[in-house]
Homo-oligomer: A and B are copies of this chain.
Amino acid sequence: MNVTTHRRCQMTIIAEYVLEEKLIALAATSGVHGYTVHEVRGGSFSADGERRREGAGETDRTIEMKMICERVVAEQVAQQVLDQFGGNFSVRVLLADVEVFRPGKY
């Protein structure tokens, strides 16, 4: 069997729940064609101890958002996300290679 796949970039954003709508709006106007979100909990360890986000209560929720798009679009959106929200909000952006089957959709 021989299938053709197409290389795209998967951008993963781990961020505070309150940013969800803003991230979607930003993506929609930057050439991303879709997104997938789910709720997560998490934490980070640093010199001055451990910090956890357990998701209990409105202000403590974290989401993980995934967007599949062209590499160049991903880089641009990632940069904007970090510029706009990286200072004041908990937000992490990751990029990874993926292959898709129907390139027109991404």
Q: Give the contacting residue for A38; candidates B24, B40, B46, B95; CB below 8 A.
A: B40
Question: Are A43 and B24 CB-contacts (below 8 A) given A5-B95, A36-B64?
Answer: yes
The interface of chain A, by Cβ under 8 A from chain B, is 1, 3, 5, 10, 12, 14, 24, 27-28, 32-46, 50, 62, 64, 68, 72, 75-76, 78-79, 82, 86, 92-102, 105
Taken together as a complex, chains A and B put the C-alpha atoms of A79 and B5 apart, in Å, by 10
B10 contacts A36, CB within 8 Å? no
- Nearest Cβ on chain B to A17's Cβ, whole angstroms: 12
Taken together as a complex, chains A and B put the C-alpha atoms of A95 and B66 apart, in Å, by 14
Taken together as a complex, chains A and B put the C-alpha atoms of A12 and B66 apart, in Å, by 12
